[in-house]
């Protein structure tokens, strides 16, 4: 049973936008056993869209398109598909009403062009969009095509993803009963490279579970270690338990659990609170904490003390620390963490001071140098790291390390 994905959008071909749909939908389809066999990206013209959709419908069991559903003149997916399949367009009253309601809620007038997005091919099942104005569409395909269904989705990820998960997945699970279900277990590991993970676990997994597929996907400071079998034998689950035993607390979560959510959960369970004091990460750490719903129960406060004066004034960092040791130093990180903990009244405070770059490095403290402080009752520890990466990745990586240090502290494991 195979699926094809057609991404539509001139901006993707011109390289102005990254195509995130292929990875997202590839993963989601694999999970329900509808392997993605081919993904195609075409521009916005009627010919290109109809051509690609026709080819894919002839070749695959399921075809999904993304994009080209906006209100403006360059969005032609619906027209192209209707022309290809010989369908008339009709105005869908539910879409129309939903869009009127959305704009009322936003307190803004409904633009005339949005009316275009309520035009759908006859016979299409319409999926209302909770986060935008373009509906999704599900169309039954028939001879001469091989495909059974054509699913048409809007382009913005925040519209597409909830629509796919809530509305499309249940349809696919019902309409493609004979597919081979993959059993996928993902262990999420922080602060440990994929080759080190492989060295520690792969041989043992292969010896005990020879039929289980193993894969790694690495991002800065984070690796997803994946175990896969077909047809829900339970073996991937058993292999994951063995891997978890070997890796211990290096595993921070399962599936798609985020590190910040795990930390918030541990704080809540322990009845503890946290605060942050950031220099070089400039709010990226507090931003991670507060990405989790309910963070306000345990996250009290953060400071972004970007200039030296604010480090002294807000957190009580001493002139001695700043002048003798420097703003990027173990001593400053220590005083920032202790000041933040004292002033906020939180049980734990994390501090960060470093050199994000691209400028500001020295031979002693090159770009990427960072000190991370963790203050708790009666003790403050400071960790020195070096992450010579682009500015955005550096900020993310440092926040990752800081969150993981707090997680390990909460698990009462001192890290070296």
Within 212-231, the residues that bind a second copy by CB under 8 A are 214-220, 224, 226
- Among the listed ranges 77-85, 88-96, 106-114, 140-148, the one in contact with a second copy (CB under 8 A) is 106-114
DSSP state of 222: E
DSSP state of 272: -
Write down the least CB distance from residue 408 to a second copy, Å: 18
Binder of a second copy out of 86, 112, 207, 271 (CB under 8 A): 112
Q: How many angstroms separate the Cα of 75 from the Cα of each of 36, 45, 66, 234, 300?
A: 25, 9, 11, 45, 45
Question: Considering only residues 270-309, where is the footprint of a second copy by CB under 8 A?
Answer: 276, 278, 281-287, 289-291, 293-296, 299-307, 309
- Among the listed ranges 111-119, 142-150, 236-244, 403-411, the one in contact with a second copy (CB under 8 A) is 111-119
Q: How many angstroms separate the Cα of 365 from the Cα of each of 25, 388, 394?
A: 43, 11, 15
CB atoms within 10 A of CB 362: 11
Question: Considering only residues 178-217, where is the footprint of a second copy by CB under 8 A?
Answer: 184, 186, 193-196, 198-199, 202, 214-217
Site membership for a second copy, residue 248 (CB under 8 A): no
Q: For residues 71 and 125, which CB has a smaller minimum distance to a second copy in the complex?
A: 71
Question: Considering only residues 396-415, where is the footprint of a second copy by CB under 8 A?
Answer: none
Burial of residue 178 (CB within 10 Å: 0-12, 13-18, 19+) is exposed
Q: For residues 139 and 182, which CB has a smaller minimum distance to a second copy in the complex?
A: 182
Q: For residues 101 and 413, which CB has a smaller minimum distance to a second copy in the complex?
A: 101
Cα–Cα nearest to 393, from 416, 375, 373, 370: 370
Whole-angstrom distance, CA of residue 92 vs CA of residue 97: 9
Write down the least CB distance from residue 332 to a second copy, Å: 15
Binder of a second copy out of 121, 221, 357, 373 (CB under 8 A): 357
Parallel/antiparallel/unpaired status of strands 222-230 and 182-190: antiparallel
Residue burial 81-97, b: 16+ Cβ < 10 Å; e: rest: bbbbbebebeebeebbe
Binder of a second copy out of 358, 362, 411, 413 (CB under 8 A): 358
User: Please, are residues 371 and 383 in contact by the beta-carbon 8 Å criterion?
Assistant: yes
Question: Considering only residues 20-79, where is the footprint of a second copy by CB under 8 A?
Answer: 20, 22-28, 30, 35-44, 48, 52, 70-74
Write down the least CB distance from residue 123 to a second copy, Å: 27
């Amino acid at each position: 049973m195979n699926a094809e994905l057609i991404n539509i959008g001139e901006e993707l071909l011109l390289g102005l936008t990254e195509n995130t749909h292929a990875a997202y939908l590839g993963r989601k389809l694999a999970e329900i056993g509808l392997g993605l066999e081919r993904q195609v990206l075409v521009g916005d013209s009627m010919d290109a869209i109809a051509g690609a959709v026709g080819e894919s419908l002839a070749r695959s069991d399921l075809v999904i398109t993304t994009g080209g559903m906006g209100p403006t003149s360059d969005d032609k997916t619906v027209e192209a598909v209707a022309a290809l399949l010989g369908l008339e367009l009709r105005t869908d009253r539910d879409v129309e009403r939903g869009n009127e309601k959305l704009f009322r809620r936003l307190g803004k007038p409904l633009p005339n062009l949005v009316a275009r997005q309520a035009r759908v091919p006859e016979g299409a099942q319409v999926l209302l969009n909770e986060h935008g104005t373009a509906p999704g569409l599900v169309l039954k395909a028939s001879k001469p095509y091989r495909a059974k269904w054509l699913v048409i989705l809007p382009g913005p990820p925040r519209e597409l993803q909830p629509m796919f998960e809530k509305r499309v997945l249940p349809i696919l699970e019902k309409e493609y009963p004979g597919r081979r279900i993959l059993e996928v277990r993902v262990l999420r590991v922080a602060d440990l490279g994929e080759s080190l993970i492989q060295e520690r676990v792969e041989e043992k997994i292969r010896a005990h579970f020879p039929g289980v597929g193993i894969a790694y996907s690495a991002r800065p400071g984070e690796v997803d270690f994946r175990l896969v079998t077909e047809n829900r034998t339970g073996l991937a689950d058993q292999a994951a338990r063995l891997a978890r035993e070997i890796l211990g607390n290096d595993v921070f979560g399962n599936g798609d659990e985020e590190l910040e959510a795990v930390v918030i959960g541990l704080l809540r369970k322990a009845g503890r609170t946290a605060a942050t004091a950031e220099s070089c990460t400039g709010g990226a750490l507090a931003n991670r904490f507060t990405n989790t719903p309910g963070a306000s129960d345990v996250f009290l406060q953060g400071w972004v003390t970007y200039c030296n004066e604010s480090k002294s004034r807000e957190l009580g960092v001493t002139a001695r620390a700043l002048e003798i040791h420097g703003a990027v130093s173990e001593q400053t990180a220590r005083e920032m963490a202790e000041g933040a903990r004292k002033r906020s009244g939180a049980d734990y405070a994390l501090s960060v001071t470093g050199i994000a770059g691209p400028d500001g490095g020295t031979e002693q403290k090159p770009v990427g140098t960072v000190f991370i402080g963790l203050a708790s009752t009666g003790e403050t520890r400071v960790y020195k790291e070096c992450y010579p990466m682009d500015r955005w990745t550096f900020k993310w990586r440092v926040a990752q390390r800081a969150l993981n240090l707090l997680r390990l502290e909460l698990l009462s494991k001192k890290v070296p």
